[in-house]
Amino acid sequence: MSRNEHTQRLRQPEVLPMSREEMDALGWDELDILLVSGDAYVDHPSFGAPLLGRWLIRHGFRTGICAQPAWDRPDDILRLGRPRLFAGVTAGSLDSMLAHYTAFRKKRSDDAYTPGGKAGARPNRACIAYTNAVQRAFPGLPVILGGIEASLRRISHYDFWSDSVRKSVLLDSKATAITYGMAENAIVTLAETIATILDETGEVDLRALRPQLAGLPGLVVAGTRDDIPADAEVLELPSHEAILDDPKQLIEATRLLEKQVHQNKAWAVQETGGRMVLVAPPGPLLDTAGLDELAGLPFTRLPHPSYRERIPAADMIRTSVTTHRGCAGGCSFCTLALHQGRTIRSRSKGSILKEVRAITEVKGWTGSISDVGGPSANMWGAHCASDQSACERASCLTPRICKHYRVAQRDFVSLLRSVSDVNSVDHVRVASGWRIDLAVTDMQALTTMIREFVGGQAKVAPEHQVDHVLRLMRKPGFETFETFLDLFDKESKKAGKKQYVVPYLMSAFPGCTEDDMRALRAWLDARGWKPEQVQCFIPLPGTAAAAMFHAQCDMQGEPIFVAKTDAERLRQHAILMPDTGRAPGGKGHHGKGRRQPRSGGNRRAR
């Protein structure tokens, strides 16, 4: 059956099939695409595999899901049969190493994306393990990596858990290609390309396929320089071997990759052991119409009916609404800007209200919308009024908000009030983090937010108090946080509400010393604050902060102090969390760090 034939008659199933029986009920004799995921299958737009699965079905490709399969044998992957076009592999909503290990490399006991919240349902380095399992199950089938783990490991990267620089996961896994970033456009173009080749030749030869995939927007392939268009702008990244020889070269590679994503016009090329990793430009991103179409697909917002145990992340995001994509902040420790981009793409107000009305009809509706937001809640509607392709800034917001950046704080407040007006909605909360430097640009809008849409707690991210640490983090100066706090206290009292600010704080960041942590501790003590949870810095692959951690220098190449050993990191952490490493009875334990699944995914690592 050609793609055009089944496009005309393919309908969205109630759930994407995870078994032969479900395929038979749909009348599908085979799949076009199999998606293998490290997450349980929750049919919600915050989960990557079902999101892409429904999008592919919308474009005429029969797609099924293999969730959390065994990786040491092919049995689970074989269950749905060999797909016609390719298998897509994702580690899930988190990098699998982050899902498994704490900031002090101790094994976690839970996994919010697994039935029963149990750890161990996905392998370490899941992209590699799942790719190997698919290749054993279906020899010769194209395997395409995607999701946060593959996206942030698309070039040479520092791996905190092995304390080493690893090659692109494309080479380590021997996959066919990587779709990086938000992959809706890329994966449909990829599927159409492979389907065309298959219709013309009757088979897909992997060796011949890779050059034909080179240049598709949003894809990473192994190839040669001849695969790059002659007139293309090319960013030459330091080679893998150069980074091994000189850690500062990782700083340069990271800087160039950030530039490629933001400007969205050049190729990035990296040599590794004589092979070339080719990173095509991200290409067109879903605009408002595309995001509305995607959000309008018939998600049940519930776990697949085969599950018998609750899935914690599904409970947390069931009544949340993601309003936009992208993060203009570009914080050096965060993966959002490198994965989703700095450009804000917002859904329309009508689309958001339509989703809210759909949520009110889901079984178990309680009357409360738990979150209306995204990577940073109050970036909805924001945009750049200049030529982004020529922009050299690492952040739209620091060291100060760019003069070309347009915010829409009052429009966001208006949106929240419209959500409140939806029939049977009793409460609306903004649980996503607020970007405080944007919030204080419009005190009237901020006042309304504080009085009407705080569910007892406002989550904000000052991260630290010391200026030179904040600069390295690409965060606003601490006086911005103090301005926000003063207004929050005043307006909460006027509204007669007991409300609290929950500050995200971080220890052991590159450039932070024990004296810096004591300065933060002194500020907290002066306010009578005792933080219940503090994130000890984890160098996430691909981020600028991970490059600084490895190279022990800032993004300009100047040396900085870095707490490298666990002992040094624990000492810094214990300044804010004195019980870290101690437990009743003398047995030590280690803080897990902050992990907040929510609308838009994990704050650090979506």
Sign, CA dihedral 240-242-248-249, equals negative
The alpha carbon torsion through 131, 134, 139, 142 (nearest 10 deg) reads -60
Q: Where are the alpha helices (DSSP H) in 325-390?
A: 336-340, 349-359
Q: 292 near 355, Cβ under 8 Å?
A: no
CA distance 498 to 493: 7
Q: 539 near 160, Cβ under 8 Å?
A: yes
Instruction: Starting at the earlier edge strand, list the strands of the sheet with 86-90.
Output: 63-67, 33-37, 86-90, 143-146, 177-179, 219-223, 275-279, 267-272, 234-236
- The CB-side HSE value for 148 (13 A sphere, CA atoms) comes to 28
Helices 184-201 and 48-58, axial angle in degrees (round to 10): 50
**How distant, in Å, are the alpha carbons of 431, 484, 490, 529 from that of 526?**
27, 17, 19, 8
Q: Tokens representing 515? A: 């004296």
Q: Tokens representing 124? A: 């370490």
First-to-last C-alpha distance (Å) of the chain: 36
Which of the 8 DSSP states describes residue 90? E
DSSP E strand stretches across 443-554: 457-463, 500-507, 535-536
Q: Is 391 annotated as a binding residue?
A: no
215 backbone φψ class: left, alpha, beta (φ>0; ψ -120 to 50)? left
CA distance 554 to 308: 49
Beta-bridge partner residues of 267: 234
DSSP E strand stretches across 440-591: 457-463, 500-507, 535-536
Q: Tokens representing 287? A: 């605009």
Of residues 113, 93, 91, the one with CA closest to residue 37: 91
Q: Please give the backbone phi and psi of residue 80, each rounded to the nearest 5 degrees, phi first.
A: -95, 0
Q: Is 402 annotated as a binding residue?
A: no
**Cis peptide leading into residue 578 (ω within 30°):** no
CA distance 454 to 429: 6
Q: 182 near 567, Cβ under 8 Å?
A: no
Q: Tokens representing 495? A: 């509204």
Which of the 8 DSSP states describes residue 14? S
Residue 525 class from Cβ within 10 Å (0-12 exposed, 13-18 middle, 19+ buried)?
exposed
Q: Is 536 annotated as a binding residue?
A: no
Of residues 129, 130, 111, 131, the one with CA closest to residue 121: 111
Q: Please give the backbone phi and psi of residue 2, each rounded to the nearest 5 degrees, phi first.
A: -75, 165
State the binding site for [4Fe-4S] cluster: 327, 331, 334
State the binding site: 327, 331, 334
